[in-house]
Structure 1
Amino acid sequence: MREAGDVTTLGFGGRPEGAVEHLEIDSTLASLPQTFSGVALLALRRHRRVELAAPAVQAALRLLEGRHFDVIIANEARALPLAHKVAAGAAIWGDMHEWAPEERTQLLSWRLLVAPHMRYVCRTYLPRTEAVTTVNQSIADLYDQQFGLRTEVVRNSLPDSGLAVSPLDGARIRLVHSGGAVPGRNIESIIEAVRELDDRFTLDLFLVEARDGGRYLAKLKHLAGDSDRITFHPPVAPAALPVTLNAFDIGVYQLPPATTNQRLALPNKFFDFVQARLGLVFGPSEEIARLIREHDLGRVTADFAAGSLTAALRDLTPEQVAEFKTNADRAASILSSEADEAVTRGILRRLLGRSAGA
């Protein structure tokens, strides 16, 4: 973004790196209406009356009063009404990330109250938004089919790390998983699978404690028991993950598709593992499975159960693991952020040209 000009950010928390100015919103303010009247308006489908009513949005409007920009980037669907309200002729880029109409459909209250509002926001504002992006082609296709768009893809990819493939440690196969220790992530299935495997297999976990006071992480440690083949490590910074993970052989991940976004997920850890030059053994999520097969990066399990993961791992040979790691090395540049940065630069050039001609 800095290549294109001076960046002003608006949001919760402190100033992000690279921003010349940051307009901070109080993190205690809700980004959706939570008062009795606000919830009632959501329930009654009074979408236009509620789209700018959230306390965080009201604070943003005050911070933006009298300001003018060349391009406005709305981060996720709920920011679109605000972006269009303050645009004053500026081009708007809607960075949707995932499938907004089903962001948190595992929650009944969200399905009943917020999901219809998100569909209204997408239906009303996306066709009037000059650029729309999301994280993979499957989700882009959903936006295009349901809202008549031409959505572009900017993946959550990483720069090519340039790491070398790490050698295997004899016959040992070193499995690794990194991410949040969040209930519903099915990390217990990985632990259960490894406990059923023979002594060739080890599992190292780099987990970030969830907002549950560490209860789920404690549950995972209890499940691992006294196994000397399962090791829990402190989390490492995202930028350091490829280097840290490079010491292992196979990245494992098993997230059951409770939502559309989970079914179509292409998570950061996929790119972490590829840039670490690891083989992959993942559950059959559609986008991930397609890329694993396309680049011969590893194996896709039959389903998301621990038994399927055990079956996919049990007969792996060191030669196969070495081949998967080599294939990850070959695919690392193709799956790096270079292509995604090119899409981003193209969008900015187009939008800045539109603003200059306005």
Structure 2
Amino acid sequence: MSPLTRDARVLRQLGVLAQHGEVTSVGYGPTPEGATRHLRVDDQAPSLPRSVPGVVGLALRRHQRVELAAGGLRQARALIGTERFDLVVANDARALPLAFSVAQGAPVWADMHEWAAEEFSHVFTWRTLVGPLMDDLCRRYLPRSGAVTTVCEPLARRYTEVYGVPCEVVRNAGPFRELAPTDVDDGMLRLVHSGAAIRGRNLEMLIRSTLALPQFTLDLYLVPAADGGRYLRELHELAQGSDRVRFHDPVPPDALPATLNAYDVGVFCMPPININAEFALPNKFFDFVQARLAQAVGPSPEMARLVRGLDLGVVAEDFTEDAFTAALRRLDPDRVRAGKKAADAQAHALSDETDRTVMADIVGRLLGGPR
């Protein structure tokens, strides 16, 4: 239940699935690459219960009554009808009831992305109403799933500890790109960030740190969030009057590394507002590597481990603005060149080659061998 043409992780899954058979995709937006056909759900149809009975059901923890009550899920179920499939892939926890309702005994691959029960736990209504639903769905459906995947090893261990299921790691890495590090200007270093303009990701701090350091520019490729673009407008206002902070239209996932290649340093510093933020290892980290950029990140354990261990750039001491600004100050042109060179050396290892093998093994296993 996402706009599939903008969901890089799903697009990579579709590419693997398409090598094994005909793929029917179900979700928002136009037909994604890799799908034989697409059953399009109305973009405005919600993927969570929003009616009064649905919200009451969430509040009373009547999860089995409301797990398919959302308009988008009901519409998807009607579009699928009685057709039978050899394998069903659930794209995060909210799709699990739909996947099992159409599987009719076929194996289900549950791709949880991150920790489903705390996806937006920093939001009170989500934490009190939706989080318990996600936890219940994981408890009831993950033990019945043929395969469970998540984005990093710490979350995989947590799925095993909490729900008692084996969990494999499929990172958010993208395909290897034939790119090379671009030249670094000794007089001005070019920072860049790409992703969704979601409150809580601390994007305002990236702007303020850039404004405090005249030797940097910052370019932002941002997708408006579900708040109607309110947070994105606030970011525009914060940067108003500066020619060193520039906003661009979002770029399709497949074109992003080539676009980012024109810059020097990928920046990201999201505070650990929940377990998913704490162990974040997002698409953008791997996009920065394929774009052959150095990186400046916060001390999120998974990103910090790779940035420090592979000499990709700098890690802030904490998630404060002062700490991130201090980290940027440690970047001089020579250090940026070294980070870009390290990214070039690690581009194969940090591509999706390993992850595609994991996904292909899952599909082959669940289908019972080559087809």
TM-score using structure 1 length:
0.92
| Alpha-carbon distance change, 118 to 218 in structure 1, aligned in 2, over 3 angstroms | closer
> Is the partner of 2:350 in helix, strand or coil?
coil
Instruction: Establish whether residue 292 from structure 1 lines up as the match of residue 307 from structure 2.
Output: yes
Give the secondary structure class of the aligned counterpart of 2:221. strand
Runs of 4+ more than 6 Å apart: none
Contact 2:82 / 2:102 at 8 angstroms: preserved in 1?
Answer: no
SS of the residue 2:190 aligns to: strand
Return the match for 2:40 from 24, 45, 54: 24
Q: What residue number does 1:93 align with?
A: 109
Q: Secondary structure at the match of 2:191?
A: strand
Higher mean C-alpha displacement, 254-263 vs 322-331: 254-263
Question: Which position in structure 2 is the counterpart of 1:77?
Answer: 93
CA shift digits 1:110-168 (9 cap, x unpaired):
22222112111111110110101111112111111101111111112111112111121
Say whether 1:264 aligns with 2:276: no
Query: Please, which moves more after superposition, 326-335 or 105-114?
Result: 105-114
Structure 1 range deviating more: 247-256 or 199-208:
199-208
Judge which range, 153-162 or 177-186, deviates more.
177-186
Gaps of 5+ in 2: 1-16
Structure 1 residues 66, 191: closer, same or farther in 2, change over 3 A? closer
Structure 1 or 2, whichever has the larger Rg, is 1
The CA distance in 1 between the partners of 2:69 and 2:103, in whole Å, is 18
Segment of structure 1 superposing worse, 241-250 or 145-154? 241-250
- Determine whether 1:303 maps to 2:305: no
- Summarize the alignment of residues 234-273 of structure 1 with structure 2, pairs less than 5 Å apart: 234-273=249-288
* 2:57 partner amino acid: L
**Cα deviation per residue 1:183-240 (whole Å; 9 max; x = unaligned)?**
332122112112222x432222233344555443343333334334333333333222
Q: Relative to structure 1, is the Cα distance of residues 229 and 139 closer, same or farther in structure 2, using a 3 angstrom cutoff?
A: same
CA distance 1:83–1:182, change in 2 (3 Å): closer
Alignment of 1:35-114 (within 5 A): 35-114=51-130
Query: Which moves more between the two structures, 11-20 or 318-327?
Result: 11-20
> Is residue 180–residue 210 contact of structure 1 (8 Å, CA) maintained in 2?
yes
The one-letter code matched in structure 1 to 2:241 is D
The match for 2:298 is 283
Query: How many percent identity over aligned positions?
Result: 52
TM-superposition CA deviations, 1:56-92 (whole Å, max 9, x none)? 3333333333211111111111111222222222111
**Is the contact made by 2:314 and 2:331 (CA closer than 8 Å) also made in structure 1?**
no
Work out the CA distance in 1 between the residues paired with 2:140 and 2:290: 39
TM-score of the superposition, structure 2-length normalised?
Answer: 0.89
> In 2, Cα distance between the equivalents of 1:330 and 1:159?
15
Which shows bigger deviation, 275-284 or 6-15?
6-15
2:223 matched residue in structure 1: 208
> How big is the shift at 1:174?
2.0
Q: Are the counterparts in 2 of residues 30 and 55 from structure 1 also a CA contact under 8 Å?
A: yes
- Of 290, 302, 320, the match for 2:335: 320
Deviations along 1:22-58, one digit per CA (max 9) or x if unpaired, are 2233333332222322222222222222223333333
- Change beyond 3 A, Cα 1:87–1:220: closer
Contact 2:281 2:302 in 1 (8 A): yes
The answer to whether 1:128 aligns with 2:161 is: no
How many angstroms apart in 2 are the aligned matches of 1:56 and 1:214? 22
Count matched residues: 355
Q: Letter of the aligned partner of 1:23 in structure 2?
A: L
- Classify 1:50/1:283 alpha carbon distance in 2 versus 1 (closer, same or farther; 3 Å): same
Alignment partner, residue 358 of structure 2: 343
1:95 is displaced (CA, Å) by: 0.9
Does the residue aligned with 1:30 lie in a helix, a strand or coil? coil
The CA RMSD measured in Å over matched residues stands at: 2.1
